[in-house]
């Protein structure tokens, strides 16, 4: 509503505007707030609040009046309420990243604005009153550090940190007398070297005036040379790279952010990259289905390939003959169950200079308290890396530790942060502790989020969510773990360190079904068998009686959150859909005794029960997890040949690689509106959003699509093409690698600029790590036997 919008834009806070809004529906609101108190529910999420109000005001038209206007707007953006009679404290989210907290007195509807800290204390008092009231309870607050550096101001700009940072450099160059401001850049360029050899500027060009004069002379000289003159021939005379210098020259003459970004993409400051993924089985074959080996391994292997290609391209453009190196550093698993995870070094397929480096956690003498990856990296690289990238909680923490000791720029990645996976995982952390060790995990996450020089997110929603749902990083802004610590300011999504670089799918594997010449025909027979052979065996059960019907396809790990059983149930219940199409899923295994995972076992049993209950045989095929990516690519395409669709029905999906794999192959795709896929797909344009909480609506959308395909020739092809267009515009590894290397370059300089400001933060981080994290980690008992048996040290 316009009132709601005016509230957002105006300076007036919820605390100021809410009393009048409450007065307008005073009678109903008195009743509702009395009900909140009476209900005995002390912590209510948005949905529960709405349900309570609906029960209190059963008359729909009266309710509509209450929900209209400002009050309705405030209620609609209230994420949570904590009840401490006679008060009800509300956490209100005005926009992504913008929160306000108020305390409403249920007796008289007076409203007071409160701080995040006050709100958290109300929440804690529900669980641990003494701790909540103890003035000495530990508080973690990065607020002062966040405030001391430049921040973005608009929610829409969140995730565009590199662009902001370039703008910031530009305005610095422009401000005051230029020369002083260019000096840090000059010093940075002077210091750039590869194994000791200067790359950009001679020491003789150590002032801005000298540099600018030299640039002009260089420009004249180099433009007089034939275009194909090799770099080596003029390298001795002027030690700089022509194109890069031209860009710099332009950036210095008329600073603008685009030129600045171009300049940073062309300076030779990154050749060696270390990527950390310490957990689980990190391998290139036979690892899928082993602990911790979902999309993360796929992502990193593809990422390395893309980064190496882009590095080689840039190095070539710079006219250098340097070899880049990328090391993926992971854990060596001595008993590797037939995989290569016990090999120290394994070259990465389809790369020239990239390897997996495995360092063991365990020696013959027992469990290592310190994982000595640093010296192994130095040994293998022969120098320190120019950039370190971490992955997920464990990898990010290690990345921070190694990067800070080596003094290297550090980026982090965590497409799925654990805290948001489980409701109330913070406030009820003690209940989860023995199983998940959230105390350690969230502490590590908070440390690495703040330590990172830049954060690579796959989508906007990962950082700051959507209109209705807080983002994963956003949920680390203020939270509390009673008995442990209270986080007043843990992350700031307006920090320019946040950047979006969405992954792609390997386009040599996942390419459109129409590219017949590239397809691997030798797979056809096997795929035909996989889909249509009528017998149940170790690889598939169920069969498809009508082979002419299109296929609804899905593929995922058989985790609860992936909701594959949900999709099966939607299909089972929708007769119209069953008439129009068959259902084929690739997921897990069908023998519960083969699974060690509690969640997976439950899902397997549920699936069998659904097959029985809804008599799915003849229309439904369940194929066990597939590990051959090349064959999977062909599988998506064979389903596209028959005008099928791909469905990703997860309750929540951080990014969703299968969505872009399917779209790359030209399969029209229906994907969850919860998480990354909601951003990947533009609803009804490049695919369809489905609501995992509303199976009937979702299955009808799929049925409507098949119906449309039957009545409108070319409809399927239109959607298929639109999906492909979307991918090529936004979701390719080439785009990703370009962005990530630019980040590496821009933030390397940014770190130099802010070296002094960062020192205090570094000390605070070190205190947290040593005084808090290490003590928490020590409490996790891991015996050597346990490590050997489970191959997991978490
Ligand atoms: N995958 C596979 N075989 C399977 C299930 C999944 O090869 O049986 C692959 C899938 O193609 C994708 C990755 O595993 O590349 C899953 O990534 P996604 O982002 O969809 O989910 P995650 O498992 O990371 O949560
Ligand atoms: C982890 C997830 O949960 C997925 O959503 C991502 O696609 C995958 O990692 C790769 O980043």
- The 3-class secondary structure across 223-264, one letter per residue, is HHCCCCCCHHHHHCCCCCCHHHHHHHHHHHHCCCHHHHHHHH
Ligand 1 lined by 415 (C-beta under 6 Å): no
Taking the C-alpha atoms of residue 282 and residue 356, their distance in angstroms, rounded to an integer, is: 8
Q: How far is the CA of 358 from the centre of ligand 2 (A)?
A: 22
Q: How far is the CA of 394 from the centre of ligand 2 (A)?
A: 16
Which residue's alpha carbon is at the smallest distance from atom 13 of ligand 1? 295
Taking the C-alpha atoms of residue 633 and residue 513, their distance in angstroms, rounded to an integer, is: 9
Structural element, H or E, at residue 746: helix 733-753
Measured at the alpha carbon of residue 96, what is the angle toward residues 94 and 99, in degrees to the nearest 5? 45
Please check the confidence at residue 213 and state whether its pLDDT lies above 80: no
Q: How far is the CA of 629 from the centre of ligand 1 (A)?
A: 10
Supply the pLDDT for residue 789. 44
pLDDT digits (tens, 9 = 90+) for 715-743: 999 999 999 999 999 999 999 999 999 99
pLDDT digits (tens, 9 = 90+) for 138-163: 999 999 888 878 899 999 999 999 99
Ligand 1 lined by 557 (C-beta under 6 Å): yes
DSSP secondary structure letter of residue 514: T
DSSP secondary structure letter of residue 72: H
Q: What is the ipTM of this complex?
A: 0.97
Ligand 1 lined by 555 (C-beta under 6 Å): yes
- Which atom of ligand 1 is the closest one to the Cα of 505? 15
DSSP for 661-726 reads HHHHTT--EEEESSBTHHHHS-BTTTBEEE-TT-HHHHHHHHHHHHHHHHHSTTHHHHHHHHHHHH
Q: Residue-wise over 339-361: b if at least 16 C-beta within 10 A, else e?
A: bbbeeeebebeebebbbbbbbbb
At 10, the pLDDT band (50, 70, 90 cuts) reads very low
- Which atom of ligand 1 is the closest one to the Cα of 629? 7
Task: Write out the two tokens for 179.
Answer: 């020369």
Ligand 2 lined by 275 (C-beta under 6 Å): no
Taking the C-alpha atoms of residue 479 and residue 442, their distance in angstroms, rounded to an integer, is: 10
Q: Are 504 and 733 in contact (CB under 8 A)?
A: yes
DSSP secondary structure letter of residue 415: S
pLDDT digits (tens, 9 = 90+) for 570-610: 999 999 999 999 999 999 999 999 888 888 999 999 999 99
Q: How far is the CA of 655 from the centre of ligand 2 (A)?
A: 5
Question: Of all residues in the chain, what percent carry a pLDDT higher than 70?
Answer: 89
pLDDT digits (tens, 9 = 90+) for 38-89: 999 999 999 999 999 999 999 999 999 888 888 899 999 999 999 999 999 9
Which of 298, 417, 655 has most ligand 1 atoms within 8 Å of CB, for mutation?
298
Nearest to 469 by CA among 153, 159, 97: 97
Structural element, H or E, at residue 34: helix 26-38
- Which atom of ligand 1 is the closest one to the Cα of 296? 24
Question: Of all residues in the chain, what percent carry a pLDDT higher than 90?
Answer: 72
Ligand 1 lined by 662 (C-beta under 6 Å): no
Ligand 1 lined by 295 (C-beta under 6 Å): yes
Q: Are 437 and 429 in contact (CB under 8 A)?
A: no
Average pLDDT, the chain: 90
Write phi, then psi, for 105 (nearest 5 degrees).
-85, 115
Taking the C-alpha atoms of residue 133 and residue 123, their distance in angstroms, rounded to an integer, is: 11
Q: Exposure of 50 by Cβ count < 10 A (0-12 exposed, 13-18 middle, 19+ buried)?
A: middle
Taking the C-alpha atoms of residue 53 and residue 73, their distance in angstroms, rounded to an integer, is: 14
Structural element, H or E, at residue 669: strand 669-672
Distance from chain centroid for Cα 294? 14
- Which atom of ligand 2 is the closest one to the Cα of 458? 11
Taking the C-alpha atoms of residue 418 and residue 448, their distance in angstroms, rounded to an integer, is: 14
Q: Are 264 and 311 in contact (CB under 8 A)?
A: no
Structural element, H or E, at residue 467: none
Measured at the alpha carbon of residue 692, what is the angle toward residues 689 and 694, in degrees to the nearest 5? 100
Supply the pLDDT for residue 108. 96
Collapse the DSSP code of 77 into the 3-class scheme (helix H, G, I; strand E, B; otherwise coil) and give the result: coil
Nearest to 517 by CA among 423, 625, 637, 436: 637
At 5, the pLDDT band (50, 70, 90 cuts) reads very low
Handedness of CA 194, 199, 203, 209 (dihedral sign): negative
pLDDT digits (tens, 9 = 90+) for 242-269: 566 666 767 766 667 788 888 888 888 8
Give the other-Cβ count within 10 Å of 508's Cβ. 11
Q: Is the peptide bond prior to 86 cis by the omega test (within 30 degrees of 0)?
A: yes
Which residue's alpha carbon is at the smallest distance from atom 22 of ligand 1? 295
Q: How far is the CA of 176 from the centre of ligand 1 (A)?
A: 53
Q: Which range is least confidently modeled, 125-129, 242-246, 419-423, 762-766?
A: 242-246
Which of 279, 283, 284, 295 has most ligand 1 atoms within 8 Å of CB, for mutation?
295
Ligand 1 lined by 658 (C-beta under 6 Å): yes
Q: How far is the CA of 527 from the centre of ligand 2 (A)?
A: 26
- Which atom of ligand 1 is the closest one to the Cα of 298? 15
DSSP for 538-606 reads SSEES-BS-TTS-EEEEE----GGGTHHHHHHHHHH-HHHHHH-EEEEE-S-S-GGG---HHHHHHHHH
Structural element, H or E, at residue 64: helix 60-67
Please check the confidence at residue 7 and state whether its pLDDT lies above 60: no
Q: Are 740 and 411 in contact (CB under 8 A)?
A: yes
Nearest to 170 by CA among 750, 660, 602, 674: 750
Supply the pLDDT for residue 792. 36
Q: How far is the CA of 416 from the centre of ligand 2 (A)?
A: 7
* CA atoms within 13 A of residue 123's CA, in its CB half-sphere: 29
Q: How far is the CA of 656 from the centre of ligand 1 (A)?
A: 8
DSSP secondary structure letter of residue 407: T
Q: Are 359 and 376 in contact (CB under 8 A)?
A: yes
Q: Are 667 and 646 in contact (CB under 8 A)?
A: yes
Give the other-Cβ count within 10 Å of 684's Cβ. 11
- Which atom of ligand 2 is the closest one to the Cα of 298? 10
Ligand 2 lined by 660 (C-beta under 6 Å): no
Taking the C-alpha atoms of residue 178 and residue 212, their distance in angstroms, rounded to an integer, is: 12
Ligand 1 lined by 660 (C-beta under 6 Å): no
Which residue's alpha carbon is at the smallest distance from atom 2 of ligand 2? 654
Supply the pLDDT for residue 234. 61
Taking the C-alpha atoms of residue 723 and residue 669, their distance in angstroms, rounded to an integer, is: 8
Task: Write out the two tokens for 41.
Answer: 């529910």
Which of 293, 555, 679 has most ligand 1 atoms within 8 Å of CB, for mutation?
555
Q: Which residues pair with 359 in a beta bridge?
A: 331
Q: How far is the CA of 267 from the centre of ligand 2 (A)?
A: 31
Ligand 1 lined by 440 (C-beta under 6 Å): no
Which residue's alpha carbon is at the smallest distance from atom 17 of ligand 1? 295
Q: How far is the CA of 294 from the centre of ligand 2 (A)?
A: 8
Measured at the alpha carbon of residue 54, what is the angle toward residues 52 and 56, in degrees to the nearest 5? 70
Which of 282, 288, 292, 294 has most ligand 2 atoms within 8 Å of CB, for mutation?
294
Q: How far is the CA of 294 from the centre of ligand 1 (A)?
A: 5
- Which atom of ligand 2 is the closest one to the Cα of 675? 5
From first CA to last CA, the distance across the chain in angstroms is: 48
Taking the C-alpha atoms of residue 496 and residue 439, their distance in angstroms, rounded to an integer, is: 27
**Measured between alpha carbons, how far is residue 271 from residues 84, 163, 313, 377, 640 in Å?**
56, 22, 12, 14, 40
Supply the pLDDT for residue 182. 72
Distance from chain centroid for Cα 393? 12
Nearest to 264 by CA among 276, 251, 273: 251
Measured at the alpha carbon of residue 663, what is the angle toward residues 661 and 668, in degrees to the nearest 5? 135
At 791, the pLDDT band (50, 70, 90 cuts) reads very low
**Measured between alpha carbons, how far is residue 716 from residues 30, 668, 709 in Å?**
54, 7, 6
Q: For the packed helices 14-24 and 69-76, what is the interaxial angle rounded to 10 degrees?
A: 120
Which of 306, 461, 654, 661 has most ligand 2 atoms within 8 Å of CB, for mutation?
654
Pairing of strands 688-690, 139-141: unpaired
Ligand 2 lined by 653 (C-beta under 6 Å): yes
Q: How far is the CA of 758 from the centre of ligand 2 (A)?
A: 31
Q: For the packed helices 733-753 and 178-191, what is the interaxial angle rounded to 10 degrees?
A: 110
Higher pLDDT, residue 499 or 5: 499
Ligand 1 lined by 392 (C-beta under 6 Å): no
Which ligand is closest to the CA of 505, given by its number? 1
The residue length of the chain stands at 794
Q: How far is the CA of 282 from the centre of ligand 2 (A)?
A: 15
Ligand 1 lined by 294 (C-beta under 6 Å): yes
What counts of helices (H) and strands (E) characterise the chain? 34, 27
Token look-up 């306000």 returns 100
Ligand 2 lined by 295 (C-beta under 6 Å): yes
At 205, the pLDDT band (50, 70, 90 cuts) reads low
Neighbouring residues of 223: CB distance < 8 A, sequence distance ≥ 6 = none
Supply the pLDDT for residue 363. 64
Distance from chain centroid for Cα 462? 5
Nearest to 562 by CA among 593, 616, 602, 611: 602
Q: Which range is least confidently modeled, 22-31, 220-229, 302-311, 766-775?
A: 220-229
Neighbouring residues of 385: CB distance < 8 A, sequence distance ≥ 6 = 272, 273, 274, 327, 377, 406, 408
- Which atom of ligand 1 is the closest one to the Cα of 295? 24
Which residue's alpha carbon is at the smallest distance from atom 16 of ligand 1? 295
Q: Which residues pair with 653 in a beta bridge?
A: 675
Measured at the alpha carbon of residue 590, what is the angle toward residues 585 and 592, in degrees to the nearest 5? 140
Average pLDDT over residues 409-417: 94
Nearest to 758 by CA among 453, 522, 494, 487: 453
Average pLDDT over residues 411-435: 93
Higher pLDDT, residue 11 or 51: 51
């Amino acid at each position: 509503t316009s009132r709601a919008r005016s509230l957002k834009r105006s300076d007036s806070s919820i605390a100021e505007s809410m009393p009048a809004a409450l007065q307008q529906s005073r009678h109903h609101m008195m009743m509702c707030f009395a009900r909140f108190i009476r209900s005995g529910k002390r912590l209510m999420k948005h949905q529960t609040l709405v349900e309570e109000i609906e029960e209190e005001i059963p008359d729909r038209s009266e309710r509509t009046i209450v929900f209209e206007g400002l009050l309705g707007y405030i209620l609609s953006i209230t994420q949570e309420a904590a009840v401490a009679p006679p008060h009800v404290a509300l956490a209100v989210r005005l926009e992504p990243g913008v929160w306000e907290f108020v305390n409403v007195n249920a007796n008289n509807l007076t409203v007071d604005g409160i701080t995040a800290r006050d709100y958290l204390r109300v929440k804690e008092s529900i669980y641990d009153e003494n701790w909540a009231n103890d003035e000495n309870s530990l508080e973690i607050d990065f607020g002062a550090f966040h405030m001391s550096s430049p921040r973005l101001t608009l929610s829409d700009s969140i995730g565009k940190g590199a662009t902001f940072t370039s703008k910031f450099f530009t305005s610095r160059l422009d401000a005051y007398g230029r020369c002083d401001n260019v000096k840090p850049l000059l010093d940075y360029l002077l210091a750039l070297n590869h194994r000791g050899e200067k790359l950009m500027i001679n020491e003789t060009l150590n002032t801005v005036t000298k540099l600018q004069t030299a640039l002009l002379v260089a420009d004249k000289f180099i433009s007089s040379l034939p275009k194909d003159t090799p770099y080596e021939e003029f390298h001795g005379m002027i030690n700089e790279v022509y194109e890069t210098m031209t860009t710099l020259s332009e950036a210095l003459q008329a600073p603008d952010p685009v030129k600045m970004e171009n300049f940073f993409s062309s300076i030779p400051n990154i050749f060696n990259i270390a990527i950390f993924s310490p957990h689980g089985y990190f391998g290139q074959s036979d690892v899928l289905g082993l602990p911790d080996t979902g999309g993360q391994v796929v992502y990193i292997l593809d990422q390395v390939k893309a980064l190496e290609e882009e590095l080689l391209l840039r190095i070539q453009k710079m006219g250098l003959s340097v070899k880049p190196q990328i090391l993926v550093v992971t854990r060596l698993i001595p008993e590797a169950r037939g995989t290569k995870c016990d090999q120290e070094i394994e070259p990465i397929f389809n790369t020239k200079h990239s390897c997996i480096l495995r360092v063991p956690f365990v020696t013959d003498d027992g469990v290592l308290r310190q994982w000595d990856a640093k010296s192994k990296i130095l040994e293998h690289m022969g120098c320190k890396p120019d950039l370190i990238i971490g992955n997920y909680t464990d990898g990010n923490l290690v990345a921070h530790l190694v990067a800070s000791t080596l003094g290297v720029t550090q980026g982090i990645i965590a497409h799925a942060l654990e805290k948001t996976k489980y409701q109330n995982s913070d406030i009820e952390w003690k209940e989860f502790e023995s199983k998940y060790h959230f105390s350690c995990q969230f502490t590590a996450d908070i440390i690495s989020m703040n330590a990172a020089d830049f954060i690579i997110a796959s989508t906007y929603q990962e950082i700051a969510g959507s209109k209705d749902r807080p983002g994963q990083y956003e949920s680390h802004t203020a939270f509390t773990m009673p008995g442990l610590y209270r986080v007043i300011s843990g992350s700031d999504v307006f920090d320019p360190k946040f950047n979006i670089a969405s992954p792609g799918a390997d386009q040599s594997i996942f390419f459109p079904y129409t590219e017949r010449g590239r397809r691997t025909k030798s797979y056809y027979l096997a795929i035909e068998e996989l889909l249509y052979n009528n017998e149940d065996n170790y690889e598939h059960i169920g069969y498809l009686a009508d082979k002419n019907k299109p296929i609804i396809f899905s593929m995922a790990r058989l985790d609860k959150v992936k909701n594959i059983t949900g999709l099966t149930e939607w299909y089972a219940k929708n007769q119209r859909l069953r008439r129009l199409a068959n259902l084929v899923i690739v997921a897990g295994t069908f023998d519960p005794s083969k699974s060690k995972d509690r969640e997976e076992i439950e899902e397997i049993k549920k699936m069998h029960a659904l097959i029985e209950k809804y008599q799915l045989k003849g229309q439904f095929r369940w194929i066990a997890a597939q590990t051959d990516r090349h064959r999977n690519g062909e599988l998506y395409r064979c389903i596209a040949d028959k005008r099928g669709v791909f469905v990703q029905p997860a309750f929540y999906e951080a990014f969703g690689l299968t969505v872009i794999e399917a779209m790359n192959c030209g399969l029209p795709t229906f994907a969850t509106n919860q998480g990354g896929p909601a951003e990947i797909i533009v609803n009804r344009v490049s695919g369809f959003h489905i609501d995992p909480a509303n199976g009937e609506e979702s299955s009808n959308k799929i049925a409507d699509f098949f119906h449309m395909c039957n009545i409108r020739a070319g409809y399927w092809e239109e959607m298929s093409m639109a999906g492909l267009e979307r991918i090529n515009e936004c979701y390719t590894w080439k785009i990703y690698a370009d962005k990530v290397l630019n980040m590496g370059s821009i933030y390397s300089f940014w770190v130099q600029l802010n070296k002094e400001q960062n020192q205090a933060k570094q000390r605070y981080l070190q205190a947290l790590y040593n005084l808090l994290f290490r003590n928490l980690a020590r409490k996790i008992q891991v015996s050597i036997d346990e490590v050997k048996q489970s191959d997991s040290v978490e």
